[in-house]
Chain A
């Protein structure tokens, strides 16, 4: 399986937030957390699109 590597550029504050999220047991490491974000964010967009097409903005 060929993987594509995306090189995230994060500052120390952004990494702190990620690491605190990991310490809450949300994911085992930084890369896993990003992958989880991709899955969950996409799932939320799919759910939204079913309700309201053409709107990819997250609902808050």
Chain B
């Protein structure tokens, strides 16, 4: 971090969070003070809070434990890289678990009131006019989780030490909201609540050069592209009597494509067709083969994730 200028420092006390305006090309460091503390994290486009970080998209692109060299993405239809994880000294983060909430502590532990990530996030976000309903799925820094053989997510203790940190580089102007996870009766933060240090730096040219290129596509839409760009300002839902559906590419039309196969080609097809799924429906099996082949040959990343140009 040689040459980085410190712009802001703050210690997050246990039970608290802080909303920070993190401008493009600034770095937020979230740092262990005593070690062993999970930080929950929310993030919004500071100029349009309806664009927010989306754990679903992020875990699809980078897996369940995104770390150094990955991005935090905004939700569809925006789907832009909001933050880049420039440094991560522990390399164990989580995008599987939701934020803990008052309900969890009441239902499972009988607490009338208990520190919890949802309410801490909501209170921190209130400084910028957001409501408890605006808190979104949390990127859980330093949280040690996995998936067991039965497909259930689990969490376990963490091994982070004082000074361990994650550096988040803003790729757009964001409201970054970290909080000290409120879980002291779970393994999340090794059964205690501890402070976390926040620092904001101006990124250096060397920092910025480390960010891989991400695609800019027409499908990354903003309100100017929406049929309804107006944010609803009241709570009840009422039908718009003038509504006329405009679903894209509808109606879906089917065209028949006759494909003549020679005896050799037919044998080749029969050897690999998915009878287990399609039975005697050769047309469906051939369609599966065609698009499976296409994916294997042309798809650059799993699950339609964007192609990212690394350094």
Q: Residues of A at under 8 Å CB distance from B?
A: 1-15, 17-18, 21, 30-31, 33-35, 37-42, 44-45, 56, 58-60
Which residues of chain A come closer than 8 Å to B274, judged between CB atoms?
Answer: 56
Also in contact, A41 and B292, with CB within 8 A (given A3-B260, A7-B256, A31-B257)? yes
How long is the Cα–Cα vector from A2 to B261 in the complex, in angstroms? 9
Contact, CB under 8 Å: B271 / A42 = yes
Tell yes or no: B282 within 8 A of A by CB. yes
Interface residues on B, range: 35 or more
Also in contact, A40 and B268, with CB within 8 A (given A8-B259, A12-B255, A34-B259)? no
How long is the Cα–Cα vector from A11 to B271 in the complex, in angstroms? 26
Which residues of chain B come closer than 8 Å to A38, judged between CB atoms?
Answer: 261, 265, 268-269, 286, 289
Also in contact, A60 and B261, with CB within 8 A (given A10-B254, A11-B254, A37-B289)? no
Contact, CB under 8 Å: A35 / B265 = yes
Tell yes or no: B247 within 8 A of A by CB. no
Select B287's contact among A2, A4, A10, beta carbons within 8 Å: A10
Q: List 20 additional A-B contacts (Cβ < 8 Å) besides A5-B259, A56-B272.
A: A1-B262, A1-B263, A5-B258, A5-B261, A6-B283, A6-B286, A7-B258, A8-B259, A9-B254, A10-B254, A12-B255, A13-B249, A14-B287, A30-B257, A31-B260, A34-B286, A37-B290, A41-B292, A41-B296, A58-B292
